Amino acid sequence: MRFGVRVGVDVGDARVGIAQSDPSGMLATPVETVRRGPGDLARIRAIVEEVSAIEVVVGLPRSLSGGEGPAAAKARAFAAEIATAVEPVIVRLCDERLSTVTAEAVLRGQGKKGQKRRAVVDQAAAVVILQNALDTERSSGTAPGETLDLGHT
């Protein structure tokens, strides 16, 4: 397991959930929800710099069959923007199937309802995405997902 903080990102149309790991890569915790629009990339870059992240893990929404649709294309496009903003930090795309469903279930189990749940579901989904990536790396010994290639030589 590589040492260093990772930042997890759940990309949505209106909001971006942010999570971070501890330096040992054992546990993901929520950080904040960033509103999409002007300044969103600058805020993500600031978080990455504040925690001295070694990489950013962006959730890639795939269908249950593993295919990619319009949501995956949007996530890939935003991940590319994040990669440019946080360069030279590595950005990885990791399968996030059912992350929001899992996050909603956890929050419901904690008794969070309605607006309170909506306010933190993006962060909770980012935690699920990042924790899955951490667990995958710990069990396989290799970095999870696919590295985003910005086309640099």
Q: Give per-residue pLDDT as tens, 80-127.
A: 999 999 999 999 999 886 555 566 666 667 676 666 656 677 888 899
Is the pLDDT reported for residue 70 higher than 80? yes
Of 98 and 46, the structure prediction assigns the larger pLDDT to 46
**What average pLDDT score do residues 67-88 get?**
94
Residue 153 — pLDDT band, cuts 50, 70, 90?
very low
List the structure tokens of 98: 């059912």
Report pLDDT for 152.
47
Report pLDDT for 96.
82
Domains of the chain: residue spans and CATH: 6-146 (3.30.420.140)
Residue 62 — pLDDT band, cuts 50, 70, 90?
confident
Distance, CA of 2 to CA of 109 (rounded, Å): 32
Burial of 133 (0-12, 13-18, 19+ CB in 10 A): buried
Q: In this predicted model, what pLDDT tens digit does every residue of 4-34 receive, in sequence order?
A: 999 999 999 999 999 999 999 999 999 999 9
Write down the pTM of the prediction.
0.87
Distance, CA of 6 to CA of 54 (rounded, Å): 6
